[in-house]
Amino acid sequence: MARHLITSALPYINGIKHLGNLVGSQLPADLYARYLRTRGNEVMFICATDEHGTPAELAAAKTGEPVAEYCARMHGVQTELARGFGLSFDHYGRSSSQRNHALTQHFAGRLADNDYIREVSEKQVYSVDDGRFLPDRYIEGTCPNCGYDKARGDQCENCTKQLDPTDLINPHSAISGSTNLEVRETKHLYLRQSALKGEISDWIDSKKDWPILTTSIARKWLNDGDGLQDRGITRDLHWGIPVKRGQQAWPGMEGKVFYVWFDAPIEYIASTAEWADAQGKADADWRRWWRKDEGAQDVTYTQFMGKDNVPFHTLGFPATIIGSGEPWKLVDYIKSFNYLTYDGGQFSTSQGRGVFMDDALEILPADYWRWWLLSHAPESGDSEFTWDNFQQSVNKDLADVLGNFVSRITKFCRSKFGEVVPEGGEYGREETALIDTLTTRIRAYEDFMQAMEVRKAAAELRGIWVLGNEYLQGAAPWSTFKTDPEKAAMQVRLGLNLIRLYAVLSAPFIPFTSDAMLAAMQTDISDWPDDVTAALQALRVGHAFIVPEVLFAKITDEQREEWEQRFKGVRA
């Protein structure tokens, strides 16, 4: 049994996440975690809310709540939505936890001890009208690299180029819109990433199996222009982790906090510690996932994220781990995704554009969304969500192929043999051929899932569903029954076993439907089909089942048109 650590990029706390956020990290991470568990692996699947920084302060101010109370409430909201979508986290933590405070301050102390932190007196943008220093991301302007007019002071989300606020053309405060900005002097801590460039570059070069999207972004940041730059890790804010050197005060850093992009990735480790705390386990139980001197040398660590998060996970977080000089586990594989677009433009939390997780669950069950998002995952390029495509995919794949197969078999069996697996002849030539084809395609499905090729895995799974329909259409047990009831019983018995098999194979993609199919077959046998012949004999003669409710209702043209109009504007 292999051990797998899986982390999903942390969703930010300032609001409910949209479907683009979901498919860019959490959902494919859940797919992979569910698959690995089904195959008998030991899995630790970790995520958390990212709670520090100015956006949390501003979001709380809008609701009139203290920022700590706002973050606690929104963590609860995001937790419930994650459950609603079937995200099977072992723990869903909070970057504001005491565990993350202690670990972030510990790493900062270790980096300072190893001479990887320097103090810098610098000029920083101060908004006179707002009465505060502006964090990089709350200065907006035009990107000097690509001309995008909503670039932030830390990074252009359009071209992913790392920026400083002073690089922006026509900068203004994203808080008030004011252009009454001054440059004032302040002191901050910088992580000396440049001193670690060689080690980070060698490490990235060793990852021959990483997606091109991941390595191309990492190498661009490493080699473009002046190469890997030192990065500020503190900010003039109130809400965040106080700057300390381990447990000691840091002279000159009073009143400052660590930059959210320094503490957020450390929360992966902290959230695993939070899991141990919640389970009443010892520290050794979480450290075995993260410390190579305490058991993590046998762990395979996989991260899932959108492409905008890649630089911080290929450069910043590894610099923290390597620079600490301690045997912490580095990521083995980074699965990165392009963007899911909506109606010709970007999904956007800040602009309220697109379909958001709560609205999605209000109009349809989670598995409709899970299937479409995963089968259209933006792997090789950006993908676009359109209501036409969503309707067609749901109706053809889920209703016509899988749902129709389950309905036809169970209803026909009930009408001719009752709600039990019927007794009949042995599997013949057609059934043997089907088993051979299924075996080939299931092995291909396993390969795609193991390689995290999400869209290819979805296409293979759909092909496996189609095989059952093609068999049923060719066997035509409703016709066979008229002349050879025993053979028809055998065909139906195979069909019922296919339902159980499909439930097992489909569980990573559509877990709620999988549970419904197993419940209909009244079985808890969910072993992976290493032997397809044996898997198609799991439900024995006489085993009772029930005819399930319709698994997937078709989306009507009227529903599609209503939703198109409802989600055409900006979310309130």
Give the residue numbers of the binding site for Zn(2+).
143, 146, 156, 159
Torsion angle of the four alpha carbons 310, 81, 548, 461, in this order, in degrees rounded to the nearest 10 = 0
Q: How many CA atoms lie within 13 A of 176 on its CB side?
A: 13
8-state DSSP, 13: S
Cβ 453 vs Cβ 209: under 8 Å: no
CA distance 142 to 134: 17
Residue type, position 452, single letter: M
Q: How many CA atoms lie within 13 A of 289 on its CB side?
A: 26
Phi, psi (deg, nearest 5) at residue 9 = -50, 140
Residue type, position 338, single letter: N
Is residue 407 within a helix (H) or strand (E), and if so which, with residue range? helix 404-417
CA distance 518 to 72: 37
CB-CB neighbours of 122 under 10 Å: 14
Residue type, position 311, single letter: P
CA distance 59 to 15: 8
Edge-first strand order for the sheet with 117-127 is: 132-133, 117-127, 181-191, 231-232
8-state DSSP, 569: S
CA distance 312 to 331: 13
Cα distances (Å, whole numbers) of residue 131 to 126, 127, 134, 175, 182? 7, 6, 9, 11, 11
- The whole-angstrom distance between residue 269's C-alpha and the CA centroid of its chain comes to 17
Rg, Å, the chain Cα set = 27
CA distance 437 to 431: 10
- Indicate the annotated binding residues: 143, 146, 156, 159, 349
Cα distances (Å, whole numbers) of residue 132 to 62, 67, 150, 235, 572? 17, 17, 21, 11, 28
CA distance 276 to 290: 13
Packing angle of the helix pair 366-375, 454-475 (nearest 10 deg): 110
- The token pair at 467 is 């095989």
The residues pairing with 132 across neighbouring beta strands, listed in sequence order, are: 127
CA distance 439 to 190: 55
Q: Which of 237, 299, 181, 219 is nearest to 55 (CA)?
A: 237
Q: Which of 526, 478, 474 is nearest to 499 (CA)?
A: 526
- Indicate the annotated binding residues for ATP: 349
- Which residue matches tokens 């089907």? 434
CA distance 15 to 11: 9
